Amino acid sequence: MPDRKCRIGLVGARGHVGAELVRLLAAHPSFEIDFVSSRALAGQPVPDTEGLCFEDLAPEAVAKRKLDALVLALPNDLSEPYVRAVARELVIVDLSADHRFDDDWAYGLPEHFRDAIRRAHRISNPGCYSTAAQLALKPIASELDAPPALFAVSGYSGAGTTPSPRNDVERLHDNLLPYALIGHVHEREIERHLGRAVHFMPHVAPFFRGLTITIDCMLAASTSKSALLDRYHERYDGEQLVHIQDEAPLVRDAAGRHDASIGGFEADGRRAVMVVTLDNLLKGAATQALQNLNLALGIEEHCGLP
């Protein structure tokens, strides 16, 4: 544990995830927010902080700040100027997809890559769907006999704040909107870090936050529901932010929570089915970023989480 507060800079706090990050960082007992940079909000007070205003900082200006860690919450393809500008020894946690396929960056799924994250200065935060899918599939990844089918549904906060059909409340009213049914970036991300092909089918629903994935698998050998439950309890009962349950978790119960829930296990011979839920803005983004910061800075992993 550091003997002083770690100074954290945040770039790109305009969106839903940025707001969650500010709340978590401001309340963290071992962190001090040095700045929050957002071109669109520059000069306005930063909510949930005392006396802090948004700044508009170019990469060169960020590099001059005395930081222990930098969090990048920018849209995809915008992180590189900041990464190049700052010192190599500075811890960076990037929430975009820019470095999820880069072997030089640690992949920030703590429940499965904790040791690598502790040693890293460059950490790529997983996507929200990718986090849920991998938590659910990794315990049986070596036994998959075919690409599992992932029927995924997210609240419209996952589409960000820039207006689009996927966050248009009127279009989503009484509706379920499928999109990117082949080749979604999260499909490729899951496949890369799971080491298995998957068939990922995302949809947007009219609720604001949370996501659920129903996963249908074909295994190499027959199993039973009780054997599956035992396997998942054995793997995750020591994890504070993964909850295993018998019944299928409900997406409405995931909203506002920092953990993921996996349940609804069924098995029939070689076929196995399960359901995973989490809050896409928290365990799917901001909560996981806090876990990664804690690990990289030598702080207890769950410090600062309610």
Residues in the chain: 306
- The region that residue 163 occupies, defined by phi over 0 for left and psi between -120 and 50 for alpha, beta otherwise, is beta
Listed in sequence order, the residues at least 6 apart from 72 whose beta carbon sits closer than 8 Å to its beta carbon are 11, 12, 79, 82, 83, 92, 93, 94, 95, 96
Which two tokens mark 184?
């979604």
Listed in sequence order, the residues at least 6 apart from 3 whose beta carbon sits closer than 8 Å to its beta carbon are none
d(CA 223, CA 137): 15
Q: Which ranges constitute the DSSP H helices of the chain?
A: 16-27, 59-64, 80-85, 110-118, 128-137, 169-172, 185-194, 225-236, 251-254, 287-296
Place of tokens 């975009």: 96
d(CA 249, CA 259): 12
Residue 39 CA, distance from chain mean position? 24
128 is catalytic: yes
Which two tokens mark 278?
């989490």
Which residue among 6, 53, 128, 217 is the active-site one? Answer: 128
Q: Supply φ then ψ for residue 119, to 5 degrees.
A: -90, -5
What would you report as the CA-atom Rg of the chain, rounded to the nearest whole angstrom? 19
The residues assigned a catalytic role are: 128
